[in-house]
Amino acid sequence: MDRITRDTVLDTAMRLVMESGIENLSMRKLAAELGVAVTSIYWHVGNRDVLVDQLVDRVIADMGAISVDGSTPVERVVSIARSCRRMILERPHLVGLVRERGLESLMMLPARKALVREMTAAGLRGARAGEAVQAVQYQIAGFVMLERALENSAAEPPAVDHWRGELALEDPELAASLSNVTDGDRLFVLSVRALVESLLG
């Protein structure tokens, strides 16, 4: 009997997603949570797709500004990347959200401007600078997406590598480094720094 609003629908949808993930959000559950029939939701938001789109927009809107620290350009770009990664990892529902829609690029919009500033500050101009920005963006987004995807399938079998035995004899430290469950932040910073140092050099 209580009237609902497009905003109340989006609010409780957001709450449900943050509680139990996008994969457990259905129109019927949302309607039940609102104490209303399914058709009301369709009247207010139209579709499940536009509902998810609205949720993505909300999450991206509240991602806030990224922090830029460091004195050298490399350190500043690394700090941007790190801030980006932290911001995404702090929002576990975001990955599922943008995985359902195809809006991965929007994930990067706040960083883009900061990256352009740093690249030009480091002396890059024109297409060189543009490619550098895109390369770093792709690396950040790709890394985090992959990282999240891998951690969900952590129950993976040990992936019997037959050649790992012989490798362990030649360079046991290398074999151990490949077997270890990766320290995400360390590998991330290492990769970004390597890429940026090369791009700016």
Partner DNA sequence: CCCACCGGTGTAACAGTGTTACAGAGCAAC
Partner DNA sequence: GTTGCTCTGTAACACTGTTACACCGGTGGG
User: Can you read off the two tokens belonging to residue 55?
Assistant: 């949720």
Q: What is the DSSP string of 29-79?
A: HHHHHHTS-HHHHHHHH--HHHHHHHHHHHHHHTT-PPP---SSHHHHHHH
Rule CB under 8 A: say whether 32 interacts with its own copies: no
For the bound state, the minimum distance from the C-beta of residue 121 to its own copies, rounded and expressed in Å, comes to 12
3-state SS assignment for residue 25: coil
Q: Which of 10, 21, 48, 184 binds DNA (CB under 7 A)?
A: 48
Contacts of 137 (CB under 8 A, 6+ apart): 108, 111, 112, 115
For the bound state, the minimum distance from the C-beta of residue 66 to its own copies, rounded and expressed in Å, comes to 15
Burial bucket for residue 80 (CB in 10 Å: 0-12, 13-18, 19+) = buried
* Site for its own copies, residues 142 to 171, rule: CB under 8 A: 142-143, 145-147, 149-150, 152-153, 156, 159, 161, 163, 167, 170-171
Q: Which of 92, 116, 165, 169 binds its own copies (CB under 8 A)?
A: 116
Rule CB under 8 A: say whether 121 interacts with its own copies: no
For the bound state, the minimum distance from the C-beta of residue 12 to its own copies, rounded and expressed in Å, comes to 26
Binding residues for DNA, rule: CB under 7 A, are 1-4, 25-29, 35-40, 42-44, 47-49
